[in-house]
Chains A and B, each alone.
Chain A
Amino acid sequence: MGMTITEKILARASGRDRVAPGENIWVNADILMTHDVCGPGTIGIFQKEFGRNARVFDPEKVVITPDHYIFTADEKCHRNVGICREFAAAQGLPHFYDPDGPSYSGVCHVTLPEKGHCRPGEVIFGTDSHTCTHGAVGAFATGIGNTDAAFVMGTGKLLIKVPASMRFVIDGVLPAGVMGKDLILRIIGDIGCDGATYRAMEFCGSAVAALPVSERMTVCNMAIEAGGKNGIIAADETTLDYVCSRTGRGFTCFASDADAEYFSESRLRAEDLVPVVALPHSPDRVADAAACGDMRIDRAYIGSCTGGKTADFVAAARVLAGRRVAVETFLVPATVEVARELSGISLGGKSLLAIFREAGCREPAPPSCAACLGGPADTFGRTHGSEVVISTTNRNFPGRMGSRDSAVILASPLTAAASAVTGRVTDPREFL
């Protein structure tokens, strides 16, 4: 009996020849990521349990990316970034992305691959549920809590249960106007918010193979919205092109065996997919964008680890070029590299930034998580009343963007931009 890619990676990380779903195994971590929200708690537990002078298991493998609440007057938030900063200095961590320094980068899940911390075949743990994003490069990546993270910090290991894998085969060519976001929302809509709980979600097929790495990140990012332990796409030429220019460390690529055993297999025809949205207040309330045209929106939000990458802004600019937005439109590039590209990349002779300005969007905020998860009252783009927001983010449970009375509709950057132009939920194919 063969193994899935997830099983092969976990077997390697546990020093075994093979592992099977349901087995509890100790795996070695290749990367541990934490940020300003969970870093201080993790550090607190690490110091309490291993001693104030304890050293992290490997400074090269601990990455700290303050990104959540970094532009606010809130004092506790500043203190928390300070705790991370002090710890990074005391431990001599080479990969601390200090928002107050030249290494400032932005959102953890876009920073990690950009800065070369994600490699195929590796095991990546992060104190953030969207750590599953990094399955996009063929790694096993999953979110953990502070206590588990403190354990990894001290020992480099974690006891985990091998997940059974669900296989999603998407063959064909995605129609124009349909993005990775629509694909993953469709799947979440089909299987529900707990449809993949405790399991790996493996994506493959010719439509997946045709996706660039940033779109693969969007797909894997939202595996957690179906309860998945990890999302994963086996590495191919596209992956290697992306990864090899960013890392100097060697790695091994794995792929599922033809006779691997799956919990389930679902097949989708790319040609059948259409632009969709997830209606308030759950990511699995998926509906065709074209069928929601009577839903008015008050604002549009383009940002986050899901929908704030360069390709997401390029998509939004394709719709917004030469048009005006009808509602307040907030732009938050995920990282400094993305922010730079807003000026560096042009469409039809105009920079993305110029297109957004002419369309009447608000000036982009500095890279961070911003209103993706509400945050302190002064967070950029946070809701305070009963706003209806169409957003490229990943979660829309009550209160996610701040106010409990506000409502969030999840969409691709194309759909969010098209909706910003009309002021109601709009299928972007009307504009392409």
Chain B
Amino acid sequence: MADVIRGKVFVVGDNIDTDQIIPAEHLSLVPTIPEEYAKLGSLALSGLPAPYPRFVPEGRMQSPYSIVVAGRNFGCGSSREHAPISLGAAGVRAVLAESYARIFFRNAIATGELYPVEVTLRLCEKLRTGDTVELDLDAGVVRLSSGEELVVAPLGDAREVIRRGGLFEYARATGMIR
């Protein structure tokens, strides 16, 4: 189960709340309806104020960035599952943040949308949007284009839940529910 995620990063700062990830006006979209799931992806991170660049280009449904790099307390604010879902729908496979708000972290795991990985270093000041990194979950490191390798916090049991596609898939696969 090699999980190596290589891609371009989109860099944000501290306390990126759920309104910035998916503004409240779009919460009428229901994630379990496929077209609305896709639409949520096109709106991911559309609540970021200027001067952030667009995360999903105009007229596109997915983002060119598959990894989001953030500072502290990523995903704070509301309990909306729309937040990790919009990122996942936009094509994000992992977030590398210094820390997460509890509900976002849990929702990312329960939905299996993305790996919420903790980095001990202030990566958001080290990287710039558009840089390429490689997250190697087996090795527990992130490799920068400079060749530098940084250790990330292990996801523990959560990794397997995400890999299987979320709480229900995991619960079924492991016989917790039928």
Contact = CB atoms under 8 A, between A and B. Distances in A.
A129 B47 contact: no
Contact of A145 (B17, B30, B49, B81): B81
Interface string A37-76: 1101100110011000000000000000000110000101
A69 B33 CA distance: 19
Contacts, number: 134
B15 A76 contact: no
B77 interface: yes
B177 interface: yes
A49 B47 CA distance: 31
A357 interface: no
B73 A398 contact: no
B25 A376 contact: yes
Nearest to A155: B177
Nearest to B33: A44
A129 B78 contact: yes
A284 B97 CA distance: 20
A47 B121 CA distance: 42
A165 interface: no
A356 B28 CA distance: 33
A331 to B, nearest CB: 21
B150 interface: no
Contact of B81 (A83, A126, A146): A146
Given A83-B30, A399-B19, A148 B110 contact: yes
Contacts of B107: 145-148
Interface string B59-92: 0000000000000110011111110000000000
Nearest to A194: B73
Contacts of A38: 79-81
A395 B107 CA distance: 20
B23 interface: yes
Q: Is the interface of A mostly helix, strand, loop or mixed?
A: loop
Contact of B78 (A48, A128, A398): A128
B102 interface: yes
B111 interface: yes
B79 A145 contact: yes
A148 B106 contact: yes
B32 A77 contact: no
Contact of B106 (A49, A68, A144): A144
A80 interface: yes
A127 B168 contact: no
A307 interface: no
A400 B19 contact: yes
A194 B76 contact: yes
Given A80-B28, A80-B30, A151-B167, A374 B19 contact: yes
Interface string A386-403: 000000000101111010
A146 B80 CA distance: 8
A176 B45 CA distance: 43
Contact of B15 (A145, A155, A193): A193
B27 A44 contact: no
A326 interface: no
B27 A197 contact: no
B42 interface: no
Contacts of B49: 398-399, 404
Given A37-B27, A48-B32, A147-B81, A399 B102 contact: no
B124 to A, nearest CB: 15
B38 interface: no
A129 B25 contact: no
A275 interface: no
Contacts of A318: none
A148 B171 CA distance: 12
Interface in B8-54: 15, 17, 19-20, 23-25, 27-33, 47-49
Interface of A: 37-38, 40-41, 44-45, 48-49, 68-69, 74, 76-77, 79-80, 83, 126-129, 131, 143-148, 150-151, 155, 193-194, 197-198, 227, 229, 282, 373-377, 395, 397-400, 402, 404
9 interchain residue pairs of minimum CB distance: A44-B32, A145-B107, A76-B28, A145-B81, A147-B110, A143-B79, A194-B73, A397-B17, A129-B79
Interface of B: 15, 17, 19-20, 23-25, 27-33, 47-49, 72-73, 76-82, 99-103, 106-107, 110-111, 166-168, 171, 177
Given A41-B30, A80-B30, A395-B19, 16 more contacts: A37-B80, A44-B32, A44-B33, A69-B27, A143-B103, A145-B80, A145-B81, A146-B107, A147-B107, A147-B167, A193-B15, A197-B99, A197-B100, A397-B20, A398-B48, A402-B25
24 contacts: A38-B80, A41-B81, A44-B33, A45-B168, A77-B28, A79-B28, A128-B79, A129-B79, A131-B79, A143-B79, A144-B106, A145-B110, A147-B167, A148-B106, A194-B73, A197-B99, A197-B100, A229-B102, A373-B19, A374-B23, A395-B77, A398-B20, A398-B47, A399-B20
